[in-house]
Amino acid sequence: MLTTTDLTVGYGDTPILRDVSLTVDDGEIVGIVGKNGAGKTTLMKALIGLLDPIDGSVTYDGTEITDWAADERARAGVGYIPQSRDVFPDLTVEQNLLVAEGVNADAEDLLYGTVYDYFPILEERASQKAGTMSGGQQQMLAIARALVGNPDLLLLDEPSEGIQPSIVQQITEDIPSINEELGTTILFVEQNLGVIQGMAERCYAIERGTIVDELGADRLADDGALAEFIAV
């Protein structure tokens, strides 16, 4: 469903990611692990089209999308939850979800009911301003907002960062359910061992902008193998 070939990306002329080649198959949940500054967010930004590659290509659903803008990728079914979450703090929860309506214009069915099923707290807080909610609730809102447009591929950048353990646990259970029930392919960035082990079928490890390893189920289950690639 998603392939990058020798992707080199940076800010200005300075490459940060070098020769990144990865694949995500339809229906998979794939993780990206790597320490702070490794280039994980840079990769996600290149995948959603917020950074133009210096070299290499991105293919989505059999079509080369290397030159597509972020909004075109969103309309083609790629959902993105940035590390900064970026909910609109002065809008209510419901208004934040309504904003998503325009994003994936090609989605036939908007999943308001479904996102409230996954995250009942959002329905309870529908008229509350998003900025007054906890970090974990804002993360659920960010996920819900991306999900409303029924994306085929969801890109999630460190969903557990800075949020309380109970919501980390909930998200770790919800994302695989969403994958299974809605068929959403997931590519996520994480440094939390429990989240990686709870969600990923396999992982790519990034160090200094390069993919240095790929971990399948066996090595993912091994805390020591995984700890080498995350901040502990």
Ligand X SMILES: Nc1ncnc2c1ncn2[C@@H]1O[C@H](COP(=O)(O)OP(=O)(O)OP(=O)(O)O)[C@@H](O)[C@H]1O
> Which residues in this chain contact ligand X in the complex, by CB under 6 A?
11, 16, 34, 36-42, 83
**Closer of 126 and 193 to ligand X (Cβ):** 193
- Binding Mg ion by CB under 5 A: which of 16, 18, 24, 41? 41
Shortest spacing between CB 154 and ligand X, in angstroms: 17
Q: Quick one: tokens of 203?
A: 């992982």
From CA 1, how far away is CA 144, in angstroms rounded?
22
Q: Which residues contact 94 (CB under 8 A, 6 or more apart)?
A: 126, 127
Residue 150 binding: pick among ligand X, Mg ion, none (C-beta 5-8 Å cut-off by kind): none
Q: Are 34 and 83 in contact (CB under 8 A)?
A: no
User: CA dihedral defined by 89, 90, 92, 94, rounded to 10 degrees?
Assistant: -70
Residue 85: CB atoms within 10 Å = 21
Residue 125 binding: pick among ligand X, Mg ion, none (C-beta 5-8 Å cut-off by kind): none
**Closer of 18 and 40 to Mg ion (Cβ):** 40
Q: Are strands 202-207 and 210-215 parallel, antiparallel or unpaired?
A: antiparallel
**Closer of 41 and 104 to ligand X (Cβ):** 41
**Closer of 83 and 128 to ligand X (Cβ):** 83
**Cβ-closest position to Mg ion:** 41
42 binds Mg ion (CB under 5 A): no
